[in-house]
Chains A and B, each alone.
Chain A
Amino acid sequence: DIQMTQSPSSLSASLGDRVTVTCRASQTISTFLNWYQQKPGRAPQLLIYAASSLHGGVPSRFSGSASGTEFTLTIRNLQPEDFATYYCQQSYSAPYTFGQGTKLEIK
């Protein structure tokens, strides 16, 4: 199985800040890397697919990048609605493993 190592597990930031979350795959997954946002009591929502493609309706302050087996989610100009938990997931091959999540909290 492909392991996805996500860091940090938690992050504190202020409104207007820029934050980054990293996900590392245990083997090559090309660009089959997705990012999801989950708010308490809600289903996850797709933010970014194919490492860097923004899903429809997602604000442009969200972006994704890839370098080999390391993937990064960047959020610029943090807004109140961005404080949530973020998960990466590889869809390169089954089992389609998730990272352990990053909880983004208000400082």
Chain B
Amino acid sequence: QLQLQESGPRLVKPSGTLSLTCTVSGDSITNSAYYWGWIRQPPGKALEWIGTVYHSGSTSYRSSLRSRITISVDTARNQFSLKLTYVTGADTAVYYCARQSSGHLDASDLWGHGTVVTVSS
């Protein structure tokens, strides 16, 4: 069954590193029709796109996070990951991984269930 599943620590200390992994099931992460990305949603707020990794391995990031963020792909494990360094309370959010489909003009047509990450000491 085609699905995405986020995993990683739910609690991160301020100034620490947030690390999440998204496992892709039911398709190959190397399928060139898709890109892989992360979106977050702070409590009570709107969705924020934070970054995408393309099948070439290149990346695009949210401007305000560019100095702190890395998204990468592990083809052997069929996973992609998010690392966000020097986190603060403003990084507390539900983090979603999602698939962008070139066949849908790069819309995110498949989402993980989301994982709540809290930044707190």
Contacts and interface: CB of A to CB of B under 8 A. Distances in A.
Interface of A: 1, 31-32, 34, 36, 38, 42-46, 49-50, 53, 55, 87, 89, 91, 94-101
Given A43-B112, A44-B111, A32 B106 contact: yes
B27 to A, nearest CB: 16
Interface of B: 37, 39, 46-49, 52, 60-63, 96, 100, 104-109, 111-114
B47 A98 contact: yes
Interface centre among A43, A50, A89, A97 (most CB of B within 10 A): A43
A interface SS class: loop
Interface centre among B49, B52, B100, B105 (most CB of A within 10 A): B105
Given A45-B111, A87-B46, A98-B47, A1 B104 contact: no
A91 B100 contact: yes
Given A43-B96, A43-B114, A95-B60, A49 B48 contact: no
Contacts of B100: 91, 96
B59 to A, nearest CB: 9
B48 A91 contact: no
A53 B46 CA distance: 23
A44 B62 contact: no
B60 A43 contact: no
Nearest to B50: A95
Contact of B105 (A91, A97, A98): A91
